[in-house]
C-alpha cells in the first residue's frame, strides 16, 4: 500500500522534475523574506506563513523521496542547474536518494519544532520565524548542492541562522554559549575555506562531480596536496559534526538553546556527517595498494572516541537537555565510526539509524522543555542541577522524606490515577529511551542490530580488531545510555514528591506525538526503509553514477537565441 | 612575490591563532579577523598570482592565464569577505552583549582575576 502511494506521488510530480529540486531552497528563502515584511506585530500571519512554508517543504521533500524511490534499484538522480549554465561552470543542485532522505528528515523535524515553538517559544524574542526559515534553507541547501563553494555558502547560511537562533530567548547563559559557539565555528569555517582553496588549486574546478572526475589525473607528487586539502575540509566538517576532539562546543550550546531551536540543531550535526560522507566518497577513491579510502581509520577512531566520551559524560549528567545533547553526540559518533568502514550494508543500517536517532533526540529536546517546566512548577528549580544534586547512583534518601509509600501503606497508592499529562510525558520519554539506547522493539534496536550484524559479518569471515572495537563500544554505550536515561526517567516521573501535575498545551503535545508516531511508523516500515537506505548507501559509496548524472546534464537551450556566455561555447 | 605573499599569510595566520587563544573577547575578535585575512590571501594565491593582469577578457588577446588572472578566486574571495564581515559583526554584537551581562571581557564571562 505504501509503495503504491509513493508510486502515485512519483508519477504525479514527474512532470515537474527536476525543477522541484530547487524548491526546498527557494521556498524557505522567499518565506523568510515575506515573514520579515509581515513584521513581528501580526503574529497570526507569521505563524500561518511559517507553518505553510515548512509544511510545503515537507510535502516537496516527500515527493522527492517518492520520485527517487520510484526507479527501484536503478540510480535516480535529479540534477538541476539553477542558473542554466553548463555543468562545469554553474552551480548544480543534485537530489539523489541520500539527499532526498535527509531533506525529508529535516522537514519533518522542522514542522514539529515549529508547531512546538508556536505554543510559547516564538514569543521569547524577535524574528524567530524568518530565522527559522533561513535555518531550514541553509540545511536543505547543504544537502542538495553539488558545488564545493556553494556548500560553504549554504553551511554559512545555516550557521549564521543558528548563531541568531541560539541567542533566541537571550539570557546570560545563552549569550556566553553563543560566543564560544560562534568563535569555534568561525575558525572551522576558515579551515573549510582553506580546504576548498587547496582543492581548487589542485583540480581547477569547484563542482564536486567535476573534481571527482579530474582527481584521477592528478600527478602522484600532487596527491599530498590533495590529501592536505581533504584533511582540512575534513577537520572543518568533523567540527560541525561534533566528533571528538572537536566536540566540546556541542553540549554547552545545545543544552542552553530554546527547545525548538535545539531540536532543529540536531540536524546541524547531521549536515556535517552528510558532507563528510559525500565528499569522502567523491574525492578520495581508494588509491594505490590500500583498499580503504584516505582517512578511513581516523573516521572510525574519532567516531569511537566520540561515542565513548559521550557515554562517560552521560553518567555524570542529570539534566535532561544535557543528556539529549550527549545523545545527539553519540548518534553522530556512531554514524561517523560506521562510515569509516565504507561498506554499503553497514552504511545502509547507519542511515536507518540516522532516521530513528535524529527523530528521537529531537523529541527528547522538546520533551526536556516540558519536563523541566513541570518540575519548576512543583519545586524550587535549581539553576544547575548537575552541581546542586547529589552525585549519581547515591541513594541518600533525597526526596524520600515525608509521606513516602515504601511498603506499609501500599494500599493508599493503588488506584490513584496518574495524571494524563504525566502519563503522556512518561510514555514518550520511554519511547525516546528505547530508541536512543537501541532496545527492542523500536527502530533504534533494528538499526543497531543491522549495523552489528554487518560489522561481524557472516560465518567464517575474519573480523578485524577495529570492527570488534566498534561492536564493543556500541553495545557498551547502549547499556550506559539505557541506565542513565532510565535513572533520569525514574527520578522525573516516579519520584514521589507530591508536586502538582504538569499542565501541557495540546499544541505542545501535538509535535511530540507526531515525532513519536513517525518513529513508530519507521519501525513498522523497517523493511522498505532499510531497502531504501541500503540502495542509497550503495549509490553514495559508488559515486560514478552521481558523477555521470551531473556530467551529462546540459543547459536548457534558450528559446530565442544561443548567445549566452556559457551555453554557446560549450558543446 | 610568492615569498612575500607566503610570509604575509604566515604572519597573519600566526598572529590570528595566537590572538584567538587569548582570554579577552576583543583579542579573539581581532584574531578571527586576522585569520580570515590570512585565509582570503591564501584563497587568492590558489588562482594565478600576477601583476597588471585583469580578469576580464579583452578583444584581441588570447584568453589564457598568461594574459589574464583567474577571475574565479576573486569571486570566491569576495564572497568569503562578505560572509566573514557579517559573521564578525555578529560576533561583535554577542561580545558586547556578554560584556554587558557579565561586566567582564573574559571569554568565559568570569570576573577579572587580578
pLDDT digits (tens, 9 = 90+) for A121-173: 877 778 889 999 999 999 999 999 999 999 999 999 999 999 999 988 878 88
- Tell me whether the omega of the peptide bond preceding residue A86 falls within 30 degrees of 0, making it cis: no
Question: What was the pLDDT predicted at A305?
Answer: 93
- Burial of residue A491 (number of CB atoms within 10 Å: 0-12, 13-18, 19+): middle
The answer to whether A153 contacts B79, with C-beta atoms less than 8 Å apart, is yes
For A352, A512, B81, B90, the CA distances from B30, given in Å and listed in that order, are 44, 43, 15, 14
DSSP output for A497-555: --PPPP---HHHHHHHHHHHHHHHHHHHTHHHHHHHHHHHHHHHHSTHHHHHHHHT--P
Scanning B17-46 for CB atoms below 8 A from A yields 20, 25, 28, 32, 35-36, 38-39, 42-43, 46
Query: Which candidate in A175, A192, A196, A248 is best for mutational testing of the B interface (most B CBs within 10 A)?
Result: A175
Residue B22, in any domain of the structure: yes
Q: How many residue contacts between A and B have a Cβ separation below 8 Å?
A: 86
Query: Which candidate in B19, B57, B75, B94 is best for mutational testing of the A interface (most A CBs within 10 A)?
Result: B94
Q: Which residue has the higher pLDDT, B10 or B109?
A: B10
Nearest-5° Cα angle at A323, A278 to A505: 100
Residue B111, in any domain of the structure: no
- How many Å apart are CA A161 and CA A168, to the nearest integer? 11
The answer to whether B39 contacts A193, with C-beta atoms less than 8 Å apart, is yes
Residue B109, in any domain of the structure: no
pLDDT over 90 at B19, yes or no: yes
Nearest CA in chain B to A201: B46
Query: Closest to B25 (Cβ–Cβ): which among A159, A179, A193?
Result: A179
Residue B61, in any domain of the structure: no
Expressed as residue numbers, the domain containing B7 is 2-53+67-102
Q: For the complex shown, is ipTM > 0.90? A: yes
- In angstroms, the separation between the Cα of residue B91 and the nearest Cα of chain A is 7
Query: How remote is the C-alpha of B30 from its chain's centroid?
Result: 10
Question: What was the pLDDT predicted at A1?
Answer: 61
- How many Å apart are CA A112 and CA A360, to the nearest integer? 12
The reply to whether B15 touches chain A by the CB within 8 Å rule is no
Q: Could you tell me which of A537, A569, A567 has the C-alpha nearest to residue A553? A: A567
Question: What was the pLDDT predicted at A386?
Answer: 47
C-alpha cell at A312: 562517560
Residue B62, in any domain of the structure: no
Query: Which candidate in B9, B87, B106 is best for mutational testing of the A interface (most A CBs within 10 A)?
Result: B87
- How many Å apart are CA B1 and CA B51, to the nearest integer? 9
- How many Å apart are CA A42 and CA A307, to the nearest integer? 45
Residue B25, in any domain of the structure: yes
- In angstroms, the separation between the Cα of residue B68 and the nearest Cα of chain A is 15
Question: What was the pLDDT predicted at A538?
Answer: 87
The reply to whether B6 touches chain A by the CB within 8 Å rule is no
List pLDDT tens digits, range B65-108. 777 888 888 889 999 999 888 888 999 998 888 888 888 888 88
Residue B47, in any domain of the structure: yes
C-alpha cell at A66: 517518492
Question: Which segments of chain A have a pLDDT < 50?
Answer: 380-388, 390-402, 409, 566-571
The answer to whether A197 contacts B32, with C-beta atoms less than 8 Å apart, is no
- Tell me whether the omega of the peptide bond preceding residue A441 falls within 30 degrees of 0, making it cis: yes
Question: What's the number of domains chain B is made of?
Answer: 1
Amino acid at each position: 500500500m505504501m509503495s503504491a502511494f509513493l508510486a502515485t506521488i512519483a508519477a504525479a510530480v514527474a512532470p515537474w522534475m527536476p525543477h522541484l529540486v530547487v524548491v526546498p531552497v527557494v521556498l524557505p528563502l522567499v518565506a523568510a523574506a515575506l515573514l520579515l515584511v509581515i513584521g513581528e506585530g501580526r503574529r497570526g500571519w507569521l505563524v500561518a506563513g511559517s507553518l505553510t512554508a515548512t509544511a510545503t517543504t515537507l510535502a516537496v521533500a516527500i515527493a522527492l523521496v517518492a520520485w527517487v524511490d520510484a526507479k527501484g534499484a536503478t540510480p535516480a538522480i535529479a540534477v538541476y542547474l539553477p542558473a542554466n549554465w553548463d555543468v562545469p561552470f554553474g552551480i548544480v543542485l543534485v537530489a539523489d536518494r541520500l539527499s532526498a532522505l535527509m531533506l525529508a528528515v529535516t522537514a519533518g523535524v522542522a514542522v514539529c519544532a515549529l508547531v512546538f515553538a508556536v505554543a510559547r517559544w516564538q514569543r521569547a524574542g524577535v524574528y524567530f520565524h524568518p530565522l527559522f526559515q533561513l535555518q531550514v534553507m541553509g540545511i536543505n541547501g547543504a544537502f542538495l548542492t553539488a558545488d564545493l563553494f556553494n556548500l560553504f555558502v549554504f553551511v554559512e547560511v545555516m550557521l549564521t541562522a543558528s548563531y541568531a537562533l541560539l541567542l533566541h530567548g537571550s539570557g546570560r547563559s545563552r549569550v556566553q554559549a553563543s560566543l564560544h559557539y560562534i568563535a569555534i565555528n568561525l575558525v572551522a569555517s576558515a579551515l573549510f575555506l582553506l580546504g576548498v582553496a587547496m582543492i581548487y588549486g589542485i583540480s581547477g574546478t569547484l563542482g564536486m562531480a567535476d573534481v571527482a572526475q579530474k582527481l584521477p589525473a592528478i600527478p602522484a607528487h600532487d596527491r599530498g596536496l590533495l590529501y592536505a586539502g581533504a584533511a582540512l575540509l575534513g577537520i572543518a566538517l568533523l567540527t560541525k559534526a561534533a566528533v571528538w576532539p572537536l566536540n566540546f562546543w556541542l553540549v554547552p550550546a545545545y543544552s542552553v538553546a530554546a527547545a525548538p531551536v535545539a531540536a532543529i540543531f540536531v540536524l546541524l550535526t547531521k549536515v556535517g556527517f552528510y558532507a563528510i560522507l559525500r565528499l569522502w566518497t567523491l574525492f578520495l577513491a581508494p588509491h594505490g595498494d590500500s583498499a580503504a579510502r584516505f582517512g578511513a581509520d581516523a573516521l572510525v577512531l574519532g567516531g569511537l572516541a566520540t561515542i565513548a566520551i559521550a557515554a562517560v559524560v552521560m553518567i555524570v549528567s542529570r539534566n535532561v537537555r544535557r543528556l539529549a545533547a550527549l545523545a545527539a553526540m553519540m548518534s553522530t559518533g556512531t554514524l561517523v565510526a560506521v562510515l569509516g568502514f565504507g561498506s554499503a550494508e553497514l552504511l545502509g543500517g547507519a542511515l536507518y539509524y540516522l532516521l530513528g536517532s535524529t527523530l528521537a533526540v529531537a523529541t527528547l529536546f522538546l520533551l526536556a522543555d516540558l519536563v523541566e517546566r513541570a518540575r519548576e512548577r512543583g519545586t524550587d528549580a535549581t539553576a544547575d542541577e548537575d552541581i546542586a544534586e547529589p552525585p549519581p547512583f547515591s541513594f541518600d534518601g533525597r526526596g524520600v522524606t515525608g509521606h513516602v509509600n515504601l511498603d506499609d501503606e501500599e494500599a493508599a497508592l493503588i488506584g490513584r490515577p496518574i495524571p494524563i499529562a504525566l502519563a503522556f510525558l512518561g510514555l514518550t520519554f520511554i519511547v525516546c529511551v528505547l530508541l536512543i539506547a537501541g532496545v527492542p522493539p523500536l527502530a533504534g534496536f533494528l538499526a543497531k542490530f543491522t549495523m552489528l550484524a554487518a560489522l561481524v559479518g557472516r560465518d567464517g569471515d575474519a573480523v578485524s580488531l577495529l570492527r570488534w572495537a566498534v561492536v564493543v563500544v556500541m553495545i557498551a554505550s547502549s547499556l550506559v545510555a539505557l541506565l542513565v536515561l532510565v535513572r533520569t526517567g525514574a527520578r522525573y516521573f516516579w519520584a514521589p514528591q507530591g508536586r502538582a501535575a504538569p499542565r501541557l498545551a495540546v499544541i505542545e503535545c501535538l509535535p511530540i506525538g507526531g515525532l513519536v508516531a513517525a518513529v513508530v511508523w519507521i519501525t513498522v516500515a523497517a523493511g522498505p526503509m532499510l531497502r531504501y537506505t541500503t540502495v542509497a548507501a550503495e549509490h553514495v559509496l559508488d559515486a560514478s553514477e552521481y558523477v555521470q548524472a551531473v556530467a551529462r546534464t546540459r543547459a536548457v537551450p534558450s528559446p530565442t537565441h544561443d548567445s549566452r556566455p556559457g551555453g554557446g561555447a560549450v558543446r | 612575490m610568492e615569498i612575500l605573499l607566503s610570509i604575509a599569510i604566515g604572519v597573519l595566520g600566526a598572529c590570528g591563532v595566537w590572538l584567538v587563544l587569548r582570554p579577552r573577547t576583543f583579542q579573539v575578535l581581532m584574531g578571527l579577523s586576522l585569520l580570515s585575512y590570512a585565509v582570503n590571501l591564501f584563497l587568492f594565491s590558489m588562482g594565478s598570482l600576477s601583476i597588471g593582469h585583469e580578469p576580464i577578457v579583452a578583444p584581441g588577446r588570447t584568453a589564457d592565464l598568461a594574459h589574464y588572472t583567474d577571475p574565479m578566486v576573486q569571486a570566491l574571495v569576495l564572497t568569503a569577505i562578505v560572509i566573514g564581515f557579517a559573521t564578525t559583526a555578529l560576533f561583535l554584537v554577542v561580545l558586547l552583549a556578554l560584556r554587558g551581562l557579565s561586566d567582564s571581557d573574559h571569554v568565559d564571562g568570569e570576573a577579572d582575576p587580578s
